[in-house]
Amino acid sequence: MTRQLHLGGFQIASHVTHSHAAWRHPASDPAFLTPEYYHRIGRILERGRFDFLFFADLLSVPTRFGNDIDESLRRGTQASATLDPSIVAASIGAVTSRLGIAITKSTTYFHPFELARIFSSLDHITRGRIAWNIVTSLSQSEALNFGHDEHLEHDLRYVRAQEFVETAVELWASWEADALVQDKESGVFADPSRIHAVDRRSEHFRTRGPLPTPRSPQGRPVLIQAGSSGRGKDFAAKWAEAIFEIDPTPEGRRAYYDDVKSRATNFGRNPEHVKIFPSFIPFVGETESIAREKQAFHNDLADPISGLITLSVHTDHDFSQYDLDKPVEDVTVTGTQGLFDVARRLSERDNLTLRDIGKLYAQGVLLPQFVGTASDIADQIEEGFTGGEADGYILSAASSPGTFNDFVDFVVPELQRRGLFRREYSGTTLREHLGLPADPFAPRETAKAS
């Protein structure tokens, strides 16, 4: 069978995603606090036969830039106003039938039992279309919201995350697939011999189990990760079934693809079961010049300070203290190290100032922008897909829902015409869409101890 491209849509339950210009764009719907806003996006992507809609999330209003919330709220930066994505996911699931829904939940401030139950419930409610984007919370402001004076240092966050995922997996496996009997005649509801206590006792977590939620359609949610540091890439290679990646350069995307696939092999996994999704923002036009005008209009709306506020959140480092018109300094960051490495690489390569990086960050958090006609954008996708950069791509919007509509109406048919992308869903679960093992507890996909 010919290798097939996978597609996801990127979203935050918010007014902006990667593009900080999006909420100011005249084509963007401002009603992000309503269910209809997300229903519309979900239906568009399902019409385009997308694999999933992916929700990122942060757990605090940005405060790192200048140690103040005023500018982030005034400028409407990323995470300044959000809804809980798990609630939004359930709402989208009710108005779609095939689209997968991936939501972010942190391993830093929650308990595995709580999250295992939430995801198992969502998987039931959506009939097997749920994914968990596993993150380690990265900022001091998030720690303060959960009653901690300091957030965990980088490597310790991954130690905790490892124990968290191991515990959640044990809880999902506590009900065997045929444990729920519901035999009305005999009066047997469930077979106790097929339901198992967990009795987990590790450094960070204790739980007795079993989960009170019977085995869900997928067994467990599809696991997504976005590791970019060395430790993060190891974690992703060990656990993730789909990986979200940000790198604006083809050479960076190829290097990441090769690196993570190799690490997955070293963990005893089939690298074909680790799908890598770089992200991009498309600008589609009837002609290239029209597309370029759309791109320029969007990019001119981007505010450098908004970008630096979000860069400060992602790195947990205050960039308000530096001269905007000098190169990016080589500083130690405690948050997302990979994104800062990309910013430094771009600054050195293109002789960019901190203001320039802030502008790029506001335009799309360093995502590449694919610009042109439907055929032009399909060319770029095909080149990356066949050239060792990606198993699929995650589409991020410059305006919502306009970007999604343009891509589904014009680019998807071109990808289908080339035989790269499905015309119809062949399965019902997200695992089936992604070509992943139906039984996630099979020995061949059990991660080896690091």
Binding residues for FMN: 57, 104, 154, 158, 228-229
**DSSP secondary structure code for residue 82 in this structure:** B
Q: CB of 338 within 8 A of CB of 232?
A: yes
294 in helix, strand or coil? Answer: helix
Compute the distance between CA of residue 98 and CA of residue 90 in angstroms, rounded to an integer: 13
| Terminal C-alpha separation, the chain | 34
- Supply 268's token pair: 């005893």
- Supply 258's token pair: 């090769």
Using alpha carbons only, give the angle 75, 77, 80 rounded to the nearest 5 degrees: 105
**DSSP secondary structure code for residue 408 in this structure:** I
Enumerate the known binding-site residues: 57, 104, 154, 158, 228-229
Using CA atoms, how far residue 41 sits from 56, 143, 321, 352, in Å, is: 15, 32, 39, 35
446 residue type, one letter? T
6 bridge partner residues? 392
| Burial track 232-253 (b if 16+ CB lie within 10 A, e otherwise) | bbbbbbbbbbbbbbbbbebebb
φ, ψ of residue 14 to 5 degrees: the values are -160, -175
Compute the distance between CA of residue 391 and CA of residue 277 in angstroms, rounded to an integer: 6
Compute the distance between CA of residue 311 and CA of residue 329 in angstroms, rounded to an integer: 13
Nearest 10 degrees: CA dihedral of 70, 74, 77, 80? 60
Compute the distance between CA of residue 50 and CA of residue 397 in angstroms, rounded to an integer: 15
382 in helix, strand or coil? Answer: helix
Residue with tokens 């009939």: 127
> Using CB atoms within 10 A of its CB, is residue 288 exposed (0-12), middle (13-18) or buried (19+)?
middle
Other beta carbons within 10 Å of 446 = 11
195 in helix, strand or coil? Answer: strand
Using alpha carbons only, give the angle 212, 131, 64 rounded to the nearest 5 degrees: 105
